């Protein structure tokens, strides 16, 4: 049998494994919520550690906490922020809606780490001084998501935009047929398509920065219901200033603590930006696999990098697996948007009671989008090659080439030529070349009108 120790909380005694750092409140939560088997993400716990450390330093500065206790709490919190104790935070995502179990998990682990340093502190009286789960947990949501946006998502979106822009320059001279409604349209440059995707990726990074801005107000300081009961009037501002200095984030205290704790509109707004980013990545991924389809019996205008065998039964088959993975990420983020919107609607009077799931959805979406964008860049975009010969072949065979003749010969004659091209399988250039007199144009005018480079523009 595993060795245990007896821990106590306000409900009485609990036997806890001697190997863990948490106490009775956390042990009760582990027993009460065997729901998914998935705890809150480590990034969330790390951000919570930053908050606890900054709070201890503030309370010491305000003369509310002895220096030795504050130093021990800050040191323990720093270890948690650094990921040294992740295994001691087992509470399920699906727990009390305020995240009280996770807050107490932090408080208990920090108290036990202090005890190991020879400093006795109380999980509630000292580690949680001036705080409540109701204001620290949503603060940890904002902080962890903001850090993930800044450190993980925004850089990879900018790198993806740069990679697509580089391909736009490389493929500027490759002329191809454009498509609307998935049907042939007038010619474009392959580089123009890539530049459009590059702009999408750039705007995705902008949207990530907007998501970060939506999270800049922190609820810290409202304590239980938004009144700030039991917190020093300067506690929130001082603590937030310390966190901002530590992280480099532009953070500020919520203008209205009742709004900040009862509503999670900022989180819904932030995830809305993530959902838009997912749509952008989905569009880029789908376009790439369409243009790379084939390679012989599809569009085949670009060649996607071969990353792995594509079939267990068809030798030589290679599939657009990276693009497919990106589309699945987009689907997951869309699902998280629905979930988070419902959670945001779950605020009743002075408190939202779906906060752990909000945290999980936000951080999962940021992580998935960051990883998907990085894979799309490194394993797909950077290795794409243009199939120039195929692009030229499809331009010449397209019915839409006749569009540029409309100003010279009129819409009806152009439509007749297009129909004849369909019926005979001959190109627009061939048919027009045989009836220059009938059309009233010269050979030179025909060549100029059917120049795909002129039609595609700069």
Catalytic residues: 181, 311
For tokens 């030229």, name the residue. 392
CB 393 within 8 A of CB 172: no
Q: How far is CA 223 from the centre of its chain?
A: 30
Burial 1-13 (b: 16+ CB within 10 A, else e): eeeeeebebeeee
CB 251 within 8 A of CB 218: yes
Q: How many helices (H) and strands (E) does the chain have?
A: 19, 10
Burial class of residue 250, CB neighbours in 10 A (0-12, 13-18, 19+): exposed
User: Which alpha helices (H) appear in 292-427, and where do they start and end?
Assistant: 321-344, 355-379, 388-397, 406-409, 411-424
CB 295 within 8 A of CB 385: no
CB 187 within 8 A of CB 456: yes
Alpha carbons 19 and 22: distance in angstroms, whole number: 9
């Amino acid at each position: 049998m595993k060795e245990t120790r007896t821990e106590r909380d306000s409900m009485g005694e609990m036997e806890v494994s001697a190997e863990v750092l948490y106490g009775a409140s956390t042990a009760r939560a582990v027993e009460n919520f065997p729901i998914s088997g998935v705890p809150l993400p480590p990034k969330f716990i790390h951000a919570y550690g930053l908050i606890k450390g900054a709070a201890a330093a503030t309370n010491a500065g305000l003369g509310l906490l002895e220096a030795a206790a504050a130093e021990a709490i800050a040191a323990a919190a720093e270890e948690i922020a650094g990921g040294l104790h992740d295994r001691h935070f087992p509470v399920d995502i699906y727990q009390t809606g305020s995240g009280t179990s996770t807050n107490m998990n932090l408080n208990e682990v920090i108290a036990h780490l202090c005890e190991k340093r020879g400093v006795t502190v109380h999980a509630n009286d000292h580690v949680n001084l001036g705080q409540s789960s109701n204001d620290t947990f949503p603060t940890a949501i904002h902080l962890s998501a903001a850090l993930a946006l800044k450190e993980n998502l925004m850089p990879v979106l900018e790198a993806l935009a740069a990679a697509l822009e580089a391909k736009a320059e490389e493929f500027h001279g490759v002329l191809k047929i454009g498509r609307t409604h998935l049907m042939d349209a007038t010619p474009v440059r392959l580089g123009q398509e890539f530049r459009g995707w590059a702009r999408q990726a750039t705007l995705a990074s902008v949207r990530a920065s907007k998501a970060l801005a939506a999270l800049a107000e922190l609820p810290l300081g409202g304590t239980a219901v938004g009144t700030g009961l039991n917190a020093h009037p300067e506690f929130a501002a001082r603590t937030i200033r310390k966190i901002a200095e530590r992280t480099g984030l532009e953070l500020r205290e919520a203008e209205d603590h009742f709004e900040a704790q009862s509503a999670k509109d900022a989180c819904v707004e932030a995830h809305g930006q993530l959902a838009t980013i997912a749509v952008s990545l989905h569009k880029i991924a789908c376009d790439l696999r369409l243009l790379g389809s084939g390679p012989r019996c599809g569009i085949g205008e670009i060649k996607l990098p071969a990353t792995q065998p594509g079939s267990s039964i068809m030798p030589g088959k290679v599939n657009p697996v990276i693009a497919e993975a990106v589309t699945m990420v987009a689907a997951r983020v869309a699902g998280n948007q629905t979930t988070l919107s419902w959670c945001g609607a779950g605020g009743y009077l002075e408190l939202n009671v779906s906060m752990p799931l909000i945290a999980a959805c936000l951080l999962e979406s940021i992580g998935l989008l960051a990883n998907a964008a990085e894979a799309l860049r490194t394993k797909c975009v950077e290795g794409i090659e243009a199939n120039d010969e195929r692009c030229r072949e499809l331009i010449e065979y397209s019915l839409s080439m006749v569009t540029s003749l409309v100003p010279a010969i009129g819409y009806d004659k152009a439509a007749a030529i297009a129909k004849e091209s369909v019926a005979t399988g001959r190109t627009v250039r061939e048919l027009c070349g045989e009836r220059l007199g009938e059309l009233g144009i010269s050979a030179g005018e025909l060549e100029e009108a059917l120049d795909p480079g002129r039609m595609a523009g700069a």
